[in-house]
């Protein structure tokens, strides 16, 4: 599979990192990028950095549109002008398929940066989900993690709020944990960070063995104990509602961005 990334920003780089970790040969990846720092990084990974003209000179299985939302439609038209009938896979947030110049050939995706570690979660949608290009897009993202094929494009707004933005919500919570751990660790922040890293990693290990949060909680708490007291405080603070409100706000903003574009 030969892939051209138009734009080498954070999400493009995360996908590229994951593809290389999955043993996709760097010769199969081309990137169009102008930022010199990003160019240097790509070249250090043995990725070919090219100009837009390469789109009319070469044949790619997928052209990944990874530019800023404000530039996406103009760049998509440029791709269409240089490479008619190309298969464009957009990772641009907030722009619906119908906004693009050739909507029938657009595949929309919403990946996250965990793709860099082959633990990504990507939503995918296209009008024709039986097309070879859509199958190629599924294959690409399966190399860097999990995929969720959306039946309706509007479902991407919900996905964005839970997975796309959700990492940041959890990071915000975990940052409180880390701050408390640093506070009792006599100023040795590096030691606290190392401890915290194992603490967070252990959560995934525990969930891998017992995929039921209620069971996991019950193994920790005891009636009248410290955990029970803390859990009751969280319930009193309506922790469920706090997170659901955050998901709802993120979803509404995703819809607004889509309307603005």
193: confidence class by pLDDT, cuts 50, 70, 90: very high
Whether residue 158 lies inside any domain: the answer is no
SS3 assignment, position 51: coil
- Examine the domain organization and report whether 77 and 115 are in the same domain: yes
- How many structural domains is the chain composed of? 2
Task: Examine residue 161 and state whether it is found in any structural domain, yes or no.
Answer: no
Regarding whether 186 and 75 lie in a shared domain, the answer is no
**Size of the chain, expressed as the number of residues it contains:** 261
Do residues 15 and 71 share a domain?
Answer: yes
Buried b (16+ CB within 10 A) or exposed e, 11-38: bbbbbbbbbbeeebeeeebbbbbeeeeb
What is the pLDDT at residue 35? 93
Given 127, 153, 179, the domain boundary residue is 153
Helices (H) and strands (E) in the chain, counts: 11, 8
Phi then psi for 140, rounded to 5 degrees?
A: -60, -50
Residues 58 and 142 in one domain: yes
Return the CATH number at 221.
1.10.3730.10
pLDDT at residue number 165: 87
Q: How confident is the model at residue 14 (pLDDT cuts 50, 70, 90)?
A: very high
- Residue 92 in 3-state DSSP? coil
User: What's the pLDDT tens digit per position in 48-106?
Assistant: 999 999 998 888 999 999 999 889 999 999 999 999 888 999 999 888 999 998 777 89
87 within domain boundaries = yes
pLDDT of residue 21: 97
pLDDT recorded at residue 256? 86
Residue that is last in its domain, among 153, 175, 190: 153
- Residue 57 and residue 115 in one domain: yes
Report the alpha-carbon distance of residue 83 to residue 63 in Å, rounded: 10
Domain check: are 135 and 170 in the same one?
no
Indicate whether 126 belongs to any domain.
yes
Residue 159 lies in a domain: no
3-class SS of residue 213: helix
Q: Establish if 214 belongs to a structural domain.
A: yes
User: In terms of residue numbers, what domain contains 68?
Assistant: 3-153
The bridge status of strand 120-126 relative to strand 106-110 is antiparallel
For residue 167, pLDDT over 90 is answered with no
| Domain end residue (candidates: 153, 174, 207) | 153
- Do 131 and 25 share a structural domain? yes
**134 lies in the same domain as 189:** no
- The answer as to whether 61 is a domain residue is yes
In this prediction, residue 61 carries a pLDDT of 94
Kindly report the CATH number assigned to the domain that includes residue 109: 3.40.50.720
Q: What is the pLDDT of residues 125-134, one digit of tens each?
A: 999 999 999 9
CA distance 114 to 132: 26
58, part of any domain: yes
Q: What is the pLDDT of residue 123?
A: 96
Say yes or no: 49 and 172 in one domain.
no
Say if residue 222 is in the same domain as residue 243.
yes
Together in a domain, 117 and 176 = no
| Percent of the residues in the chain that have a pLDDT greater than 90, as a whole number | 81
Q: Residue 255 — very low, low, confident or very high, per pLDDT cuts 50/70/90?
A: confident
Query: Does residue 115 sit in the same domain as residue 179?
Result: no
DSSP-assigned letter for residue 161: I
pLDDT at 65: 97
Is 32 within 8 Å of 90 (Cβ atoms)? no
pLDDT in tens, 134-162: 999 999 999 999 999 999 999 999 998 99
pTM higher than 0.85: no
CB 126 within 8 A of CB 134: yes
């Amino acid at each position: 599979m030969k892939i051209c990334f138009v734009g080498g920003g954070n999400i493009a780089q995360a996908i590229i990192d994951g593809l290389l970790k999955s043993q996709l040969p760097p010769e199969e990846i081309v990137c169009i990028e102008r930022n010199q720092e990003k160019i240097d990084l790509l070249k250090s990974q043995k990725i070919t950095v090219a100009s837009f003209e390469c789109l009319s000179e070469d044949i790619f299985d997928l052209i990944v549109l990874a530019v800023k939302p404000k530039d996406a439609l103009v760049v998509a038209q440029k791709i269409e002008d240089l490479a008619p009938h190309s298969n464009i896979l957009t990772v641009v947030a907030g722009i619906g398929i119908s906004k693009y110049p050739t909507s029938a050939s657009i595949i929309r995706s919403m990946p996250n940066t965990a793709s860099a570690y082959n633990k990504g979660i990507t939503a995918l949608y296209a009008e024709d989900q039986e097309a070879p290009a859509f199958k190629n897009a599924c294959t690409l993202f399966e190399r860097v993690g999990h995929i969720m094929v959306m039946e309706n494009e509007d479902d991407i707004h919900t996905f964005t709020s839970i997975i796309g933005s959700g990492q940041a919500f959890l990071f915000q919570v975990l940052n409180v944990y880390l701050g408390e751990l640093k506070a009792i660790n006599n100023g040795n922040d590096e030691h606290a960070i190392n401890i915290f890293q194992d603490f967070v990693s252990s959560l995934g290990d525990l969930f891998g063995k017992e995929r039921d949060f209620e069971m996991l909680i019950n193994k920790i708490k005891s009636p009248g104990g410290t955990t029970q007291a803390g859990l009751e405080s969280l319930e009193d603070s309506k922790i469920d509602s706090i997170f659901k409100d955050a998901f709802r706000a993120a979803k509404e903003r995703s819809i607004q961005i889509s309307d603005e574009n």
